[in-house]
Amino acid sequence: MPNDHRENMRAVGASVVSTRREESFAPLPQQPTLADILTQRLHVPWFGMPIAAARHGVQCGKLAMAAGCDDETILACLLHDVGLAVNRPDHGWWGAQLIEPYVSERISWAIRYHQALRYYPDPNVGYDYPEMYVKMFGENYQPPEYIAAAHREALAHRWYMTARHITMYDDYSFDRDAPIDLEPFADIIGRHFKQPKEGLGNDTGSTAHMWRTIIDPTKLL
């Protein structure tokens, strides 16, 4: 290898190291659980969001619980924005994929389709178009066709109301001072989230790599 090329590559490596973000998260237990990740990773906002996904999800889940929703709906509400730890665009799809190996098909389906349903009012269940979206997207915003297609598909699905419940409580769950209290959900998580004994990110599940990214988002490669 020519010396000038070697020196160039060393310079690139030094640049990568120098621009690495300082470690901002404490180490997790060797066998991380969902609760560990919610309270020690998703406890802060990612990708410029106005509220941490765990704080938002706890509020949404508690509203579903107070409304008498079943366990799977409550867990879907609790976890509906976990995809924001992976990516902001299409977070419903990312979130559903992330948890798919560990929850029922109904829960992951609801998280995937809540992203589309939130753009469409449903007066039959008391869901109005959020004022927040008017401010974000404008008065006459038309979602892209793939969102419209997902909405049409969800309307005809047997789990429509599971996803719709997420949107119904979502808009009321933006208290930035609300505690991330998982105690009310401990039994539901225990029965409906298949926690791998090796710990999330250490198992052979199809999305283990995504959990590893959430656990250590600052590693070099």
- In this prediction, residue 219 carries a pLDDT of 78
- 81 has a pLDDT exceeding 60: yes
Amino acid identity of residue 220, one-letter, is L
40 alpha-carbon distance from chain centroid = 14
- Cα 193 to Cα 136: distance, rounded to the nearest angstrom: 34
146 alpha-carbon distance from chain centroid = 20
Q: What average pLDDT does range 16-29 have in this prediction?
A: 61
- In this prediction, residue 20 carries a pLDDT of 41
Q: Does a structural domain hold residue 12?
A: no
Between 187 and 12, the more confident residue is 187
- In this prediction, residue 7 carries a pLDDT of 59
Q: Tokens 């609790």 map to which residue?
A: 78
Distances (CA, A) of 150 to 117, 123, 189, 209: 8, 19, 28, 27
Find residue 122's DSSP bridge partners: 127
Q: Does a structural domain hold residue 2?
A: no
- Percentage of the chain modeled with pLDDT above 70: 89
3-state secondary structure of 38: helix
Between 46 and 66, the more confident residue is 66
pLDDT digits (tens, 9 = 90+) for 115-173: 999 999 999 999 999 998 999 999 889 999 999 999 999 999 999 999 999 999 998 99
Domain count, the chain: 1
Here the contacts of 174-180 (C-beta below 8 Å, separation 24 or greater) are: 174/50, 174/51, 174/56, 174/59, 175/55, 175/59, 176/50, 176/51, 176/55, 178/55, 178/58, 178/59, 179/55, 179/58, 180/38, 180/39, 180/43, 180/52, 180/54, 180/55, 180/58
- In this prediction, residue 139 carries a pLDDT of 87
Q: Does a structural domain hold residue 5?
A: no
- In this prediction, residue 13 carries a pLDDT of 42
- In this prediction, residue 99 carries a pLDDT of 98
Please, what is the average pLDDT of the chain? Answer: 90
Q: Does a structural domain hold residue 81?
A: yes
Q: Does a structural domain hold residue 52?
A: yes
Q: Does a structural domain hold residue 220?
A: no
- 23 has a pLDDT exceeding 80: no
Taking a C-beta distance cutoff of 8 angstroms, is the pair 207, 98 a contact? yes
Q: Does a structural domain hold residue 145?
A: yes
- Cα 123 to Cα 121: distance, rounded to the nearest angstrom: 6
CATH number of the domain that residue 180 is part of = 1.10.3210.10
- Which residue segment(s) compose the domain that 130 sits in? 29-214
Q: Does a structural domain hold residue 103?
A: yes
